[in-house]
A and B are shown apart, each in its own frame.
Chain A
Amino acid sequence: MLRLPPIKLVAPTTVQAAAKAIATSDDNARLVAGGTDLWPNMKRRHQKADTVVSLMSIPDLDSIDSANANMRIGATATLANIIRDDKLRARFPAFAVAVASISSPPLRNMGTIGGNLCVDTRCTYYNQTEEWRRSIDYCLKEDGKICWVATKSPKCWAHTASDSAPILCALDAKVRLVSASARRELPLADMYVDDGIDYLAKQPDEILTEVLVPGSSDSDHCRSAFWKLRRRGSIDFSTLSVAAAVWTDDNDVVTRASMYLGAVGSAPMPVAEIDTVLVGNKMSEDGIAEIAHVAHKIARPMDNTDFAASWRGKMTVQYVTAVLREIAGLPQLRMRPRHRLKVV
C-alpha cells in the first residue's frame, strides 16, 4: 500500500504552543487537523514535511457556538459535527448542505472545517504518486517547470477544492489567524488567492483557529443556496460549485447579494456583478439570466478534473440559474444535484 514517509509529529495542547512549534521548526513543517487531505498527499509525495504539527490535541478548538448571534466554529470542528448541529442547520442551511456534500461519511468524521477551508488546490496532473509524476517530469505546482493544463501559462491552474469556502465567502464569514507573534481577523474571501500554488494569503506560520459567520447572514436575514456538480452521489470533489446569498428588505427588494463559484478557478471566484444587477430590484428571471451570463465568463474550467471542461463551463450557466431560482423561490429545473443533507 502507499505509505507515509517518516515524519516528526508534534501535538501541542494549546494554540500558542502550536504556533510556537510551527514558527520554530524547520522550513519543512506543516499543520494538520483531520489529515484527510495531507496524509494522502504525503503518501503520494506531492506534499512533503519533516515535521507535522497536529491541532487535534488542543481542547475546545473544535467547539461550535451556533447560539451566539455571530456563529463561531472552532477550526477542528469536524464536518460531521457541523452537520449535526441543529441550530446551525436552521440558521445557515446552505452552509450545512455544502458541508454535507463533502466527500463521504467516514471522511467527514475526521475532516475539519479549518482543514476544508485550507485544503490544497487540486489537479489531475498533481494529485498523483511520485512515480506517476516522474513520468510527466512533474508539473509547475510541485517540482516541475510546466503547467500541463496550460503549457504556456506562467501560473498554475490547480483548482480550489473546498466546498465550504464558496458558501462561507458568500455569507461574509471571517477567519481568525494566530501566529506566534500576532493574531488577526480577515474576511474569508481575502484569504484566497487565484493562484494554484500560492492559493492562500494565510502565512505558513499562521494557524486558522476560528470561523465567524455573522448573524446578519443567517436565514432570518438572508436567503442562501449551494449547488455542487460532481459525478457521483458521494465521495467526489466538486467540478463546479455555486454558492450565493441574497439579503432583501420587507418588500423582497434585494439590498445585498453575493456569489462565489468553486472549482472553476484556483480560488473561490466572486461574481461581483450580482450585487449591481440585483440590488434595488426584486429577483427576476431576467436578472438571473444576466448574472448567469456573467458567471459563465468568470468561470475558468480547465481540463484538470472530472467532466469535459467546456461542458462544465456551460453548466455554470445552469447551476448559477438554479441557485438563484432556489433563492428566489422560483420553480426548479427537474434535475437537482446529487447531494442531499442527511444527518447521521
Chain B
Amino acid sequence: MVKAISKLNDELADATESQLKIIGKPFRRVDGRAKVTGQTQFADDVQFPRTAYVKLVRSTVPHARIKNIDFSAALAMEGVLGTLIGEELPDKFGILPVSEDEHALAVDTVRFVGDALAAVAAVSEDIAHAAALAVEVEYEPLLTISSVEEALCTPEPQIHEYADDGNIHKKVSLKFGDVEAGMEQADIILEDNFFYEGSNHLALEQHSAIAFAEDDDRVTLYSSTQCPHYVHRALTKTLDIPASRIRVIACSNGGAFGGKSDPFNHEIVVAKLALKLGRPAKITLTREEVFYCHRGRHPVQMHLKTGFRKDGTMTAQHLRTTLDGGAYGSYGVASTYYTGALQTTTYKLPNYWFEGARAFTNKPPCGPKRGHGTPQPRFGFEVQLDKAAHRLGIDPAELRLRNLLEPNTITANWLQIGTIGLKECIEAVVRGSGWKERYGKLPEGRGLGLACSAYMTGAGLPIYWNHMPQSGVQIKLDRSGNVAVFCGETEIGQGSDSILAVVVAEVLGIDLKDIRLCVGDTDLTPVDLGSYSSRVTLMVGHAAKQAAERARDKIAEAVAEHMEVPKDSLVFANRTVFPADEPENAIEFSEAVVIAESRFGTLGTTGSYIPPRAPGRYRGAGVGPSPTYSYSASVLEVEVDPETGLYEVIKVWMAHDIGRALNPVLALGQIEGSIYMGLGEAVMEEQAFRRLPKRLSGALVHKMPSMLEYKSPGFHDMPEMTCYMIETDDEQGPYGAKEAGQGPLLPIMPALANAIFDAVGVRVDQVPIHPDFILKGLQAKKNGRDPRVGPTSFPDVDYGEPLIVHTPAQGGDGRAANDPKASKKGLRSASGTMKKREDALKEHSSATLTTD
C-alpha cells in the first residue's frame, strides 16, 4: 500500500549543532493526518465493483462430527452466488510449523461454538447473512472439554491427534541449574497458586478482508493483518497456487495487539471464493466473530515456589503452569514456553525449573496478546516478591533492587541480556510516588503497590526455520528528490510507519515529507516478518538504517567527485548536502541525487537485519532470546472501600527503559496504552464461558461476545498517569532504541494486587480482581482466617522428564545434558537447535527449512 507522508512538525535542530536531527524529538506521526481526517483506507473501506459478500456458517455446538451440511434453502435465495465447504480447501495451515492444525473451513469435525464450517457468498451482506442462517447442519456430538482439568482426565476423544499426550497439546520441562540444592540453601521458601484469566485484544477494528482474482490464477488479498508475510505463506499452502501469484496487502490496522497476527480462515475463504466465483469477495467480521477468532491471552494457572535468603536474594525457583489453549494450536507452543522463558530476565535467579503444559479445550483458540505468555507468570512472580518482602521485613522496592540482574550477562536459561535500566526505573517510580514516605503508612483503604518487568525487543528467531533476513528495506531515489521506501512492515497503530520514515530521513538529512512509503505489500515490498514481539522498531529500524546509509554513501561518492572534496567530509542535513567546513556551498538534496543518478545510473539500495544468535542450544532455547530487553517498573495507588470491596485506581506511575525514544510522543502513547490495557486485564476483562447444565444441554458458549457485556475500561475509568522514559542507549538497538509497546503492560496487574494488599491487607492471587474477591478477603480477615483469595490447588500434571541444562555459572555450554524426548516423533522444535546461517549456506542447504 502506498502512503503519502504528511507534513512534519518543523522543529529540526541546526544540523551542525546536533548529531541527531529528527530522532529523539517529538514529531507528528506520518500517518496521523490521514487517520484523523478519515483518509486512511482500512480493509473494510476497500471496495470493488461486483463484490460478493461472504458470511461464514459457524458451528453452534462445541464439539461434533459434521454429518451433513444442507445448502438447499440458502441456494434457493435470490442473490446467493455460491458456497464453500472444507473439502474444497483440504490443506491445513497454522502459524507455527509444529501445529498446522486448522482447516479454513472445518472438515469432518467442529471444535468450538463459532468454528467455521462453511461459507456463503451473495450480492449483499444482508442476503449473505440470511443465507448463512438458512444453512442446515447436522451434527453428531462428541465429548466436550471445557477446562485444563477436564483435558487432563479426558485423553479421548482427542481434539487433535498430534497432541503430546491425550488432550495435552504441549508439555515442557526445562531445568536450569541445581534447583533442589538452591531450595536447600533458602532461609524461606514461598509456594503460591495463582490464576490469570484469559482476555481478548478488543481492537476497535474488527477483522476484514477482501480478495480479487486476475485471469492468470493470480489472487490479491487486502486484509487487516499484522503479518502479511505469514498470511501469504498460509494462502500458498491452502490455495494450491504458487507463492509468486499471491499478493497480500496489509491495510492500516485499527488496533491489533496480537489479535491479527495469525493467518485466519476468513482470509483464505475470501481468496478461494474470489477464485471460485470470478468476482471480488469480501468479509468483515462481527464483534462476536472476533471473539471466536480470538487468539487472546491464555488463561493460566500457576504454581510458583521460590527460595529466598534472609537478605532477600533468591536461591531457586520452580514454576509450573497450565494454559487453557482452546481448540487450535495458534502460537500456543510458543505461548507455553513464554509462560516460563522471561522469568529470569529481571532478577538474579541462579537455579530455575520451568514446567508448562497447554491443553486443548473446546473453546476459541488462545494465542498471543500484548506481552504474549509473560504477563501471567510475571503477575505471580511480582506478587510473590511482595509477599517475600513482607515475610522478610524488607521494603518491596529494596528487595527488588537487591536482586537486580547485572547488565551484559547470560541468565540461567541462557538468555543474553544487554543494558538494564531497571534500577533507574524503580528509583523513578519510588521518587515520583513518594513511596518511601507513603508506602505502608497510608490510612486504611488507601494503598501503594510496586511491580517490575522485562520484555523482548523482537523475537530472536522467525516463526519458521530459515536463515533469511527478518526485516528488509528497499530504497528508490530519483531526480525528483523524492525517496521511496519499501518495507513489508505493517502499521497497527503503534507508529511503525513513522519509525521507518524517520530513520531514512535522519540518515539522508531530508524532511519526512520527502519520503513516500510503500509498506506491507508482499508483491512490492521486501519481507518483514510482521508487527509482533515488539520487533519492528529494532529490526525495521536497523534494515532502514542500512539501506539509507548505503544510499547516502552512493550519493556522497558522486557528490564528492563532483565537488572535488573528500567523501567523508560531506554532511547530509536540512535537505541539503555540503562539506562540513563549507556549509555555504550546500547543494539541494535533489541536486545531489541528480549528480549520483548521472554518475551511477538508476539508484536503489537495500538493507536487511538478522538478530544475533542467542547462546542457548537446548530444545526450547528458541523462545525467549531477543537482541535486547526493555525494563519497566510501576507504582499504583488504589483506594478500596472496605464495606463493598469496590476500588478505584487513583494513580499510576510508570518508568520504562526504552533504550532511546526515537519519537518520545509515540513512545509515550505506547506506554500509556500499555497501562490502559493492563488495567483492563487487572480490573475487569475476562474471556469467560458458560457451560449449561449437562443433563439439559451440551452447550459451551462464550459468556458475553459483545463490546457491551465484555467489560473493558472506558475514558471514565482511566486514572491519572505519570510516565518516565529511561534511556540506556542499547548498542543492539537502532540509535540505542528498545521496545515500548508491550513491556509496560506487565507490571500493572501485580502492582494492583500489591496495592490492594497495602490498602486493606487482602491478598488476591488472581486477575481480574473483582470487588467481591476483596470483600470475601475482608470477611475472612474479620473472622480471623487467612485474608487471601485465589486458587487453592494446582492440577496434577505429569510434565515428563525435565531437560537438564547446566547454567553459565555451572560451566554449561548452552546445550542440554540429556535428551529425554530425542526418540519421540514430532517433537522436534524449531528452536535453538538450528545451525548457524553461515554453516547452512556453506552446505547449500535450502534456506527455508521446515520442522517436520
Contacts and interface: CB of A to CB of B under 8 A. Distances in A.
Interface of A: 1-3, 5-6, 124, 127-132, 134-137, 146, 148, 151, 231-236, 306-308, 310-311, 314-315, 318, 333-335, 338
B772 A131 contact: no
A232 B713 contact: yes
B697 interface: yes
B58 A131 contact: yes
Given A134-B60, A235-B714, A307-B772, A334 B641 contact: yes
Interface stretch (B165-173, B185-193, B323-331, B699-707): B699-707
Interface string B87-130: 00000000000000000000000000100000000000110011
Contact of B705 (A6, A130, A132, A146): A132
Interface of B: 58-61, 113, 125-126, 129-130, 133, 206, 284, 286, 288, 445, 639, 641, 643-648, 684, 692-693, 696-697, 699, 701-706, 708-709, 711, 713-717, 770-772, 775
Contact of A2 (B113, B286, B696): B286
A3 B45 CA distance: 17
Nearest to B648: A335
For the residues of A in contact with B, the DSSP-based class is: loop
A128 B284 CA distance: 19
Task: Please name the 4 residue pairs, one residue from A and one from B, whose CB atoms are nearest each other, closest first.
Answer: A233-B716, A311-B772, A335-B641, A135-B60
Contacts of B133: 130-131
Given A3-B126, A232-B713, A333 B693 contact: no
A168 to B, nearest CB: 24
A129 B771 CA distance: 29
Contacts of B706: 127-128
B699 A135 contact: yes
Contacts of A146: 696-697
Contacts of A338: 648, 716
Contacts of A308: 770, 772
A232 B696 CA distance: 34
12 contacts: A5-B130, A130-B133, A132-B701, A135-B59, A148-B692, A233-B714, A233-B716, A306-B709, A311-B775, A314-B644, A333-B641, A335-B643
A132 B644 contact: no
Nearest to B44: A1
A136 B445 CA distance: 43
A117 B643 CA distance: 32
Nearest to A137: B697
B288 A129 contact: yes
Given A124-B709, A132-B113, A135-B699, 16 more contacts: A3-B126, A5-B130, A6-B126, A130-B133, A131-B58, A132-B702, A137-B697, A137-B699, A146-B696, A232-B714, A236-B711, A307-B772, A308-B770, A333-B644, A335-B646, A335-B648
Contacts of A231: 684, 711
B679 to A, nearest CB: 12
A173 B396 CA distance: 57
Contacts of A131: 58, 60, 133, 288
A76 B799 CA distance: 64
B774 to A, nearest CB: 10
B699 A335 contact: no
B382 to A, nearest CB: 25
Contacts of A134: 60
Nearest to A311: B772
A113 B713 CA distance: 27
Contact of A124 (B125, B644, B696, B703): B703
Contact of A306 (B60, B693, B711): B711
Contacts of B696: 146, 151
B701 A315 contact: no
B701 A136 contact: yes
B720 to A, nearest CB: 14
Nearest to B683: A231
A236 B701 CA distance: 22
A314 B770 CA distance: 14
A3 B716 contact: no
Contacts of A151: 693, 696
Nearest to A312: B772
Contacts of A129: 286, 288
B284 A315 contact: no
Contacts of A132: 113, 288, 701-702, 705
B709 A1 contact: no
Nearest to A340: B716
Contact of A136 (B129, B641, B699, B770): B699
A234 B699 CA distance: 32
A128 B717 CA distance: 26
Contacts of A333: 641, 643-644
Contact of B643 (A310, A311, A318): A318
A154 to B, nearest CB: 15
A341 B284 CA distance: 38
Choose among A231, A233, A308, A338 the residue with the greatest number of B CB atoms under 10 Å from its CB. Answer: A231
A321 B95 CA distance: 55
Contacts of A306: 709, 711
A335 B644 contact: yes
A234 B775 contact: no
Contact of B717 (A233, A310, A334): A233
A311 B699 contact: no
A310 B639 contact: no
A134 to B, nearest CB: 5
A308 to B, nearest CB: 5
A124 B701 CA distance: 11
Contact of A135 (B61, B643, B684): B61
Given A124-B709, A335-B641, A1 B716 contact: no
A311 B703 CA distance: 19
Contacts of A2: 286
A314 B646 CA distance: 12
A185 B337 CA distance: 68
B60 A127 contact: no
B716 A136 contact: no
A120 to B, nearest CB: 14
Contacts of A314: 644, 775
A188 to B, nearest CB: 26
A235 B708 contact: yes
Contacts of A234: 714-716
Given A136-B699, A232-B716, A335 B639 contact: yes
Contacts of B126: 3, 5-6
B73 to A, nearest CB: 15
Nearest to B711: A231
Nearest to A305: B709
Nearest to B58: A131
Contacts of A5: 126, 130
A148 B699 CA distance: 11
Contacts of A3: 125-126, 129
Contacts of B58: 131
Contacts of A128: 705-706
Nearest to B133: A130
Contacts of B647: 335
A250 B46 CA distance: 70
Residue among A132, A134, A146, A307 with most chain B CB within 10 A: A132
A307 B644 contact: no
A333 B772 CA distance: 17
A132 B133 CA distance: 11
Nearest to B700: A135
A135 B701 contact: yes
Contact of A1 (B286, B641, B708): B286
A232 B703 contact: no
A334 B445 CA distance: 10
Contacts of A236: 708, 711
